[in-house]
Amino acid sequence: MDNSRDLLIALARRYAFADLGALAPTTEIAAVCEFGHLLLSLDAEDFAAEAKGVPAELRRRARACHMPQTPREQPRGALESLRPAYELLLEVIAVRWHRRELSPMIAAVHIAGEYLPLLAFEPQLGHAGDPARWPAGLSGQGSRFGVIGDRECDHTKSEQSATNRTLRVAGEPAEGWRAYFDRQHSQVAGALAVCVATCRNPCTAMDWIAPEPRADLHLRARTALAFAETPLVRLRHAAPVGHGFGVPSPEEMLDAWERSRAALDKNPVGAAALKDDGFPLPGLPSLFSAIAATPIAPSTLLHGVSDHIANLLSRL
DSSP secondary structure of 257-290: HHHHHHHHTTSTTGGGGG---S-SSTTHHHHHHH
Separation between Cα atoms, residue 190 and residue 192, nearest integer Å: 5
Separation between Cα atoms, residue 68 and residue 80, nearest integer Å: 10
Q: How far is CA 106 from CA 152, 195, 272, 283, 316, in A?
A: 35, 27, 21, 16, 37
Which residue from 51, 40, 41, 48 is spatially nearest to 65, judged by alpha carbons? 48
Torsion of CA 143, 148, 151, 155, to 10 degrees: 80
Interacting residues of 56 by C-beta distance below 8 A, sequence separation 6+: none
DSSP 142: T
Per residue in 119-142, is it b (16+ CB within 10 Å) or e — as a string? bbbbebbebbbbbeebeebbbeee
Name the phi and psi angles at 209, rounded to 5: -100, 130
Which residue from 152, 118, 124, 120 is spatially nearest to 137, judged by alpha carbons? 124
Per-position pLDDT tens, the chain of length 316:
578 899 999 999 999 999 999 999 999 999 999 999 999 999 867 776 667 789 999 999 999 999 999 999 999 999 999 999 999 999 999 999 999 999 999 999 999 999 999 999 999 999 999 999 999 999 999 999 999 999 999 999 999 999 999 999 999 999 999 999 999 999 999 999 999 999 999 999 999 999 999 999 999 999 999 999 999 999 986 545 444 456 789 999 999 999 999 999 999 999 999 999 999 999 999 999 999 999 999 999 999 999 999 999 999 8
Domain boundaries, the chain: 2-124+225-314, 136-207
Residue 159 has a pLDDT of 98
